[in-house]
């Protein structure tokens, strides 16, 4: 990570638009590269938990770079965001042919921390928009969602990273799901 410094994270976290832009531009290809490499190491076994696997790669990276505290949380939040972008770009490119309604469904579930981390199937792109909305009204809950759903962190890791209790994390995840379900209108009656 050449130009990525803890300062950059602080600036970005403080709302510096330039810093955010730089950070994103620097991290995107790097994260992709690390993620691909990590996946390749695993031999592309289907059914493995890709997110958690990729996450491990970044744990090491964060340790190596000496990222601590808030910076560490920011870093993982970005990793989650980039992984999400990778998926969304992929899905968009793939659905390019479709007109209007066609979309790929996604379920957010991690086998290792099931049953509670579960969200009904939703449209990936719509989910992305809903998450942005979540970020606007509650940054902390957003970070929790990002770390847990998209970065592959367990409840415990998420709690540790955000320096909050696992109980709070659980609560935030419950609320985030309720909010997302409300916005995306994915009641069980629909499925």
Strand 118-123, strand 105-109: pairing: antiparallel
The residue within the footprint of other proteins, chosen from 18, 36, 63, 68 (CB under 8 A), is: 36
By the rule CB under 8 A, 118 interacts with other proteins? yes
Residue 182 sits in the site that holds other proteins (CB under 8 A): yes
DSSP string, 9-37: HHHHHTT-HHHHHHHHHHHHHHHHHHHHH
Window 57-96: residues binding other proteins (CB under 8 A): 83, 86-87, 89-91, 94-96
Q: Which of 73, 122, 153, 161 binds other proteins (CB under 8 A)?
A: 122
**Using the 8-state DSSP alphabet, how is residue 95 labeled?**
G
Of the pair 18, 56, the CB lying nearest other proteins is at 56
Q: How far apart are CA 54 and CA 90, in angstroms?
A: 17
**According to CB under 8 A, which one of 73, 106, 153, 161 is a site residue for other proteins?**
106
Asked if 169 and 108 touch (Cβ cutoff 8 Å), the reply is no
User: 71 or 162: whose CB is closer to other proteins?
Assistant: 162
Q: What distance separates the 2 farthest-apart alpha carbons in the chain?
A: 50
DSSP string, 127-171: HHHHHHHHHHH-HHHHHHHIIIIIS---HHHHHHHHTS-HHHHHH
Which lies closer to other proteins via its Cβ, residue 54 or residue 161? Answer: 54
Does residue 126 touch other proteins according to CB under 8 A?
yes
Supply φ then ψ for residue 117, to 5 degrees: -90, 70
Point out which residues bind other proteins (CB under 8 A).
32, 35-36, 39-40, 44, 46-51, 54, 83, 86-87, 89-91, 94-110, 114-116, 118-124, 126, 133, 136-138, 149-150, 171, 174-175, 177-179, 181-183, 185-191
């Amino acid at each position: 990570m050449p130009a990525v410094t803890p300062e950059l994270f602080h600036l970005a976290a403080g709302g510096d638009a330039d810093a955010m832009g730089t950070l994103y531009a620097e991290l995107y290809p790097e994260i992709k590269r690390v993620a691909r490499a990590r996946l390749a190491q695993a031999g592309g076994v289907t059914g493995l938990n890709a997110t958690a696997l990729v996450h491990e790669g970044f744990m090491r990276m964060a340790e190596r770079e000496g990222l601590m505290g808030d910076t560490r949380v920011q870093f993982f939040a970005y990793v989650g965001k980039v992984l999400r972008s990778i998926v969304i770009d992929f899905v968009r490119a793939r659905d390019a042919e479709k007109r209007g309604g066609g979309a790929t469904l996604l379920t957010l579930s991690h086998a290792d921390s099931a049953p509670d981390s579960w969200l009904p199937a939703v449209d990936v792109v719509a989910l992305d928009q809903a998450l942005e909305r979540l970020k606007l009204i509650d940054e902390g809950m957003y970070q929790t969602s990002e770390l847990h759903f998209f970065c592959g962190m367990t409840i415990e890791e998420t709690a540790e990273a955000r320096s909050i209790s696992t109980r709070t994390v659980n609560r935030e995840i419950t609320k985030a799901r309720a909010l997302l379900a409300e916005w995306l209108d994915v009641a069980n009656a629909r499925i």
